[in-house]
Structure 1
């Protein structure tokens, strides 16, 4: 299959397991920020992922990556997936913002990267993600904003031994992403036109190759994300129901 640029046909999903029960809801970003703030941990925490702990604690997890450009609706759809299907939603963006709020050395580094439209170092991103997953009572995760580049992907596989059950790709044109980013008013430092251009450049040069990597493995389902949030989620539900039916189960009614 040719690599994704925009609006290609979806590819098939490989089977995944245990996607549809409803474990306890979690707020890992808030929990992580509170924990890091205790006893000066935010200033003293090491950036290097803990390989031994991650291999023990992250086995058997169901992980779905949700990828797409800035403004494609990743966080919106992940929140819907978490509520409807009982996943824990981990937003790498929220974890990074939580670290910024601690005013730690790493928080300042993250803030500088965002202002310049650059990617945060992979070792720090993996550390935050790893700790949030370990603190959750859930074993099913829908993760948005990760991996954003090949370095992220390799770090997750190497240190956390994580490979996604599948990748949900929210496909949105550059023009529509720009329109959404300029129209939203979230007070984010990375929502000005100059930084938006940098973020889009990073997406096309760094994240799209990751999507193509998983596509080559037959592990991507592409969704047209230019529709309304409700229409997009209906298409996403069909993806999850398709997976469930592949395991010989009946269509879910909630």
Structure 2
């Protein structure tokens, strides 16, 4: 009887998790893409404050896993140092866990998918297609200046790794943007402008998601 109860409880838990991700719960996902230093994180904070989204940064989730000291974290750290892309299943699992735990139904996913394989895997695993892609378009010169100007103690903020990350972005992430652009799902932002001006452009795009004050 104990094992029957345990099995029923486990199946119920699995069903609840599936419903959170795939079932009756309508989840709005916006992918936020742009080169390293294009200002994605800053603008995501503004969107959270003004439009009630939950911000899930793929990079932050990966860095938290590194800090946990797990074997998975060590593998992630080595790949980031080399400017490589972390395997899809690792990042998707972290994103999925974060979405399941959160009661909100509107998510900004920042810095993911980084390549076509990421994109296909995310849609296949979660059965979620983004409402749209917010693309922060910025020159490499400006992004490099910004990254070298900040001091956050991040292992990936040195000139050699920064340039590797630019190369990876151009080769891997631009095809994702082109894929969604063909579906008329890309909202392009001129991210080289000052932060307040960039947010004015962002606000115009997110107007349909404005918080309703009762």
TM-score w.r.t. the length of structure 1 is 0.74
Aligned to 2:45: 79
Structure whose CA Rg is larger: 2
How many correspondences in the alignment?
A: 197
Unmatched runs of 5 consecutive residues or more in structure 2: 1-13
- Quote the offset at 1:221 in angstroms: 0.7
Map 1:149-164 to 2 at 5 A: 149-164=115-130
Task: Summarize the Cα distance change of 1:110–1:83 in structure 2 as closer, same or farther, 3 Å threshold.
Answer: same
Quote the Cα distance in structure 2 between the aligned partners of 1:53 and 1:96.
25
Aligned to 1:118: 84
Q: What value does the CA root-mean-square deviation take over the aligned residues?
A: 1.8
Unmatched runs of 5 consecutive residues or more in structure 1: 1-50, 245-250
1:183 matches 2:139: no
- CA offsets, 1:33-64, max 9 Å, x none? xxxxxxxxxxxxxxxxxx97764222310101
Aligned to 1:203: 169
Quote the Cα distance in structure 2 between the aligned partners of 1:253 and 1:139.
15
1:225 matches 2:191: yes
SS in 1 for 2:114: coil
Which structure has more helix as a fraction of its residues?
A: 2
- Asked whether the 8 Å contact 1:63–1:164 carries over to 2, the reply is yes
Aligned to 2:5: none
Give the one of 23, 41, 56 matched to 2:19. 56
